Amino acid sequence: MTFERNPCVYILASARYGTLYIGVTSDLIARLWQHRNGEVEGFTKRYGVHTLVRYEIFGDMASAIAREKQLKRWHRQWKINLIESENPDWHDLAVGLGLPPLAHS
| % of residues, the chain, pLDDT over 90 | 88
3-state class (DSSP) for residue 43: helix
3-state class (DSSP) for residue 36: helix
pLDDT of the residue at 4: 52
Radius of gyration, alpha carbons of the chain: 13
Domains of the chain: 8-97 (3.40.1440.10)
pLDDT of the residue at 105: 42
Q: What is the DSSP letter of 95?
A: G
* pTM score, whole prediction: 0.93
pLDDT of the residue at 104: 64
17: left (phi over 0), alpha (psi -120 to 50) or beta: left
Rounded to whole angstroms, the Cα distance separating 62 from 17 reads 29
pLDDT of residue 2 exceeding 70 = no
